[in-house]
Structure 1
Amino acid sequence: MCSSLEVGGMERNRWWPVIGCGLVVFMATLDTSIVAVALPAVERDFGARTAATQWAVLGYLIPLVALSLPAGRWLDRGGPRAALVLATGGFTLSSLAAGLAPHLAVLVAARVVQGAFAAVLFALIPLVSMRAVRPELAGRASALVMTLGPLGAVSGPALGGPIVQSWGWPWIFYINVPAGLLVIAIALASLDRDALGRPDRTFAGEALLLGAAATALLLALSLAAGRGPGWLLVAVAAVPALAGWWRTRASGPVRDLMRVPPAAGPVAAIMLNALVISLVEFLAPFYLQRVLHLSPTATSATVLAMPAAMVAAGPVGGLLGDRWGTARTAAAGTAVTALGVLLLVPVGSGLHASGLAWRLAIAGAGTGLFAGPGFAMLMAHAPPRLHGTAGAAQSLARQLGFALGPASATLAWAASGYAMTGMRTAFAVAAAAGLAALVALAAPRLAGRLRRGGHADAVRDHEPVRSP
């Protein structure tokens, strides 16, 4: 896989594949959140029950979680051009099928297929973007792509509402079609011809085990808003499937990756960062409308401070990562995110919308600083034979964080009877997760310095971490 994108001896960088990867990761991540806004319209048009329409969301997330790691192992042996064309084409066609769906069952089936191809895209895109440019520009390339992942997740509610209101819910899927065709054109024009082999015989079994675990976990999280411990029983059902998968040979590459502390730390930090921003993005509109009594329009304008700051800080993070070092920049980004959320903990009814907006902007800027360098740090420390697995692992970690954030907010808020104290508790949970992300990044480096006396790491810390 390295041959078609090897740039060590190239005289120029290939930025068009990076741009294409950024576009497709934004669209695929956007589809994890934008559909929730359209569910009331889907329910009305199809005459379906609310409990049934939630499968339009779960139908996308379950294959996305189940296939991320198997797809990563598959891509460790495949070619990027063929895989990118196949996955983008499948995602585009299934998006079109979802928009044209005449019944809810067809919509859910299209969403399942869409999620399966999205899993391949999330595992593949890091490989393409990191190897399309020379190592000294890896931080900026990864920042361009990885900042758009969280941006897509938090932009769903803001973009979904106007689209559904103006054009109808099918258009949240139709907008993927021109973007997908553009990415396919970029792949065909800018990447070298290659081939993609078939998945090995363990692919289906691994996907079934991870799919069973994902179904139990996501169903439990969807039930977490209710009172009582029933959702915990559903979550426990994921344990046997995960234990069975952990004992299989297919999990070997993941175990190997997690045994490399400098690679395991960024994976944990990526999951925790996704938890933080999704928790805040979920809870902030409730605070603005129920506590400050803002209109939906004013609420959307205020919440947009977080994704706007992400976009602004993303290129800065990439530049700092290349010049100052990815480890330092990623740590600085997690610290800034934690600071922004810590400032949300004491909020009360007397806060003005602008006071919330600048706090959200700090949290968003931290995520923008962290996203690219955090991923570049992971890929720099992952063994080359596990690059596909590393890309899949960070994708899976991010999706789990996006699922855990709203569930954590709901649990903390519901425990107080949906009072202001519960909101503060939820923001405190987010702040603790942000600090834990900083610890996850720092712990492997501190341990390495203790083992080696600190000299080797101190020298390397003054140099940008190079992509393999």
Structure 2
Amino acid sequence: MNDDDDGGATPRNRWWLVIAAGLAVFMAQVDVTVVHVALPTIGQEFGISAALTQWVVLGYVLPMVALSLPAGRWLDRMGRREAFVGALAGFAIASVAAGMAPNIWWLITARLIQGAFGAALFALLPVLATTAVRPQARGRAMSIVMTLGPLGAVSGPALGGVVIDAIGWPWIFYLNVPVSLLVIGIAVAQLPAGAAPRLPGREWVTEAAVLTGAAVAVLLALSLTADVGPSWLFLALAAVPFLLVWLRLPSSTQVRQLVRAPGMLTPHLALLAEMTAVMAVQFLAPFYLHQVGDLSPTTIGLTVLAFPAGVMLFGLIGGALADRWSPAPVAVAGTLGVTAGIVLLIPLGAGWEPVELAWRLAIAGAGAGLFAGQNQNMAMSRAPRHLLATTGATTSLVRQLGIALGPALTTVMWSIAGDGIDGMRLALVLAAVLAAVSVLVLVRRHADDEPGTEPRDSAQPAGAVGPRR
């Protein structure tokens, strides 16, 4: 992405821009989960089956997975203000179209477009948090953005329920408009004009089509595994031919070079393992409280809030610690916290009170808060400057895959050991192993961390080993 806004240096900390990025990621992440509460109402209004209604969710997630890499590569060639404002405007317009939908096909199409602009936003937001502040404040900036994302995902269902009851389901989409306009205003004030937008070329369209085929195969496999059974997981193998074709495309070169660059594979692998483990826990907790504790939805909701509460508090603490020392040890401490919290959950007693589950979830959430911002901080700090948006896209893709994999793998474990508490314990063992893998990945490369560095200069090839600063 062009460095037209700062010439490669950040003379001052632009915290309003960080706040704008945080609001944008909160809004985009809310839209992943907010519609879950609205699906029964939408299905009843349009007179459609539950299977078709599910595509209101998948229609948003599909382009987020399929277009992350093409969007990042395309955005690396544009000015930051133009890219950010364009993505926000497109997201807002698609949100209005979704709210005005007269039928299910219109709504699914609007959600596909909304997800496409969401993919661009998720690629851009880490770039803005990285470049809006000096290196000495980058830990705090990244923690703000990466803490608001999980908060948006958790807040979605509760927010959706209130809005639907008060003013109707279309307003869960209309409310994106004032947020988008506010963020656009901050971006225009904080970012100078840069390179003019360029339309994607034929090569970009080919890459997007190939990756869409792979994403459809993976998402169908994961959704059918959760609904029907683990045998459908083999459907994901249909993505392999698409990925092999993508690897032969010239457009894949930048991504392959990025992953091979020094220190770049580590945060990606750690993120995939940790996110899958965390989503398995978040998927399991409500089921445990409902099936074993037989608790009310309100009690279940309040209990599982312990996890995002830990994320919020320790995410901000982690940013301050990273700015004082280094992001790597904070991220390692975070993976240790996640692992400890999940290990403490494994016994999963049949007579546990909500508070006994809550404090364990809070430990895992505290670890996730320490990890999320500083793992992203490491990825962006190590990235070649001309591939910042691509780095934001690759980490976004990995995060979305973890979000999808967690519930699917949990379902597989349940089917092996039964739907009771033994199956839940087996799923938690797998989650603990994945969390431990994230610890090992980060510890192994801890020595490669470069605290307080700027992203590599754009003149440096993505795969080259640059001098340590």
State TM-score, norm by structure 2. 0.93
Cα separation, 2, equivalents of 1:228 and 1:111: 27
Name the SS for the 1:376 alignment partner.
Answer: helix
Return the alpha-carbon distance in structure 2 between the equivalents of residues 278 and 163 of structure 1.
Answer: 26
For 2:166 and 2:421, locate their aligned partners in 1 and report how far apart those are by CA, in whole Å: 34
Q: Is the 8 A contact 1:100 1:170 kept in 2?
A: yes
Q: 1:150 touches 1:274 (CA, 8 Å); kept in 2?
A: no
Structure 2 counterparts to residues 11-160 of structure 1, below 5 A:
12-160=12-160
Post-superposition offset of 1:228: 4.9
Q: Which amino acid aligns with 1:232?
A: L
The count of aligned residue pairs is 454
State whether structure 2 residue 365 is matched by structure 1 residue 357: no
SS at match of 1:101: coil
Matches within 5 A, 1:227-376: 227-228=228-229, 230-376=231-377
Contact 1:25-1:145 at 8 Å conserved across structures: yes
* 1-structure distance, mates of 2:431, 2:168: 34
**Structure 1 segments unaligned to the other structure (5+ residues):** 449-456
Counterpart check, 1:403 vs 2:404:
yes
- Would you say the 8 A contact 1:322–1:465 is kept in 2? no
Q: Aligned-pair distance for 1:9?
A: 5.7
Equivalent position amino acid for 1:40 in 2: P
Query: Which consecutive aligned stretches of 4+ in structure 1 deviate over 4 angstroms post-superposition?
Result: 226-230, 463-468
Pick which of 154-163 and 201-210 moved more. Answer: 154-163
- Per the alignment, residue 161 of structure 1 pairs with 161
SS at match of 1:351: coil
The residue aligned with 1:436 is 437
State the 1:415 CA deviation: 2.5
**In structure 2, C-alpha distance between the alignment counterparts of 1:229 and 1:409, rounded to whole Å:** 10
Bigger mean CA deviation after superposition, 122-131 or 405-414: 405-414
Residue pair 2:272, 2:402 contacting (<8 A) in 1 also: yes
Aligned-pair CA distance for 1:169 = 2.1
Measured in 2, the distance between the counterparts of 1:390 and 1:282 equals 28
Are residues 172 and 415 of structure 1, via their aligned partners in 2, closer, same or farther at CA, if it must alter by over 3 Å? Answer: farther
1:183 corresponding residue in structure 2: 183
CA apart distance, 1:370 = 1.0
Distance in 1 separating the partners of 2:339 and 2:158 = 24
Quote the offset at 1:412 in angstroms.
1.4
Measured in 1, the distance between the counterparts of 2:21 and 2:288 equals: 35
Q: Which amino acid aligns with 1:340?
A: G
Superposition RMSD in Å: 1.7
Task: Provide the secondary structure at the position in 1 that maps to 2:56.
Answer: helix
CA contact (8 A) 1:21 1:145 kept: yes
Are residue 207 (structure 1) and residue 208 (structure 2) matched? yes
Determine if contact 2:10/2:131 at 8 Å carries over to the other structure: no
AA in 2 matched with 1:65: V
Provide structure 2 residue ranges, at least 5 long, that are not aligned to the other structure: 457-469
Q: Is the 8 A contact 1:34 1:172 kept in 2?
A: yes
- Given the superposition, is the C-alpha separation of residues 269 and 154 from structure 1 closer, same or farther in structure 2, using an over 3 Å criterion? farther
Return the alpha-carbon distance in structure 2 between the equivalents of residues 51 and 122 of structure 1.
Answer: 28
Compared CA separation, residues 465 and 330, structure 1 to 2 (3 A): farther
The residue number in structure 1 matching 2:4 is 3
Distance 1:248 1:407 in 2: 30
CA distance, structure 2, for counterparts of residue 53 and residue 466 of structure 1: 45
Q: Residues 138 and 466 of structure 1 are in contact (CA less than 8 Å); yes or no, is this contact kept in structure 2?
A: no
- Asked if the contact 1:22/1:145 (under 8 Å) is kept, the reply is yes
CA distance in 1, matches of 2:322, 2:163: 36
| Displacement of 1:416 | 2.6
Q: Distance in 2 between matches of 1:434 and 1:466?
A: 29
> Is the 8 Å Cα contact of residues 383 and 455 (structure 2) preserved in structure 1?
no
Q: Per-residue CA shift, 1:73-117, capped at 9, x if unaligned?
A: 112111010111110011011111111211111110000000000
Structure 1 residues 61 and 235, CA gap change in structure 2 (3 angstroms): same
Whether contact under 8 Å (1:6, 1:131) holds in the other structure is no
Letter in structure 2 aligned against 1:247: R
Does residue 391 of the first structure (1) align with residue 361 of the second (2)? Answer: no
The percent of aligned pairs where both chains have the same amino acid is 51
Q: Secondary structure of 2:263's match? A: helix
Distance (whole Å) between structure 1 residues aligned to residue 416 and residue 40 of structure 2: 27
- CA separation of 1:126/1:96 partners in 2, compared to 1, >3 Å: closer, same or farther? same
Bigger mean CA deviation after superposition, 194-203 or 103-112? 194-203
Q: Is the 8 A contact 1:269 1:437 kept in 2?
A: yes
Alpha-carbon distance between aligned partners in 2 of 1:15 and 1:438, rounded to the nearest angstrom: 31
- Counterpart residue number, 1:451: none
Which residue of structure 2 aligns with residue 452 of structure 1?
none
C-alpha distance in 2 between matches for 1:85 and 1:241: 32
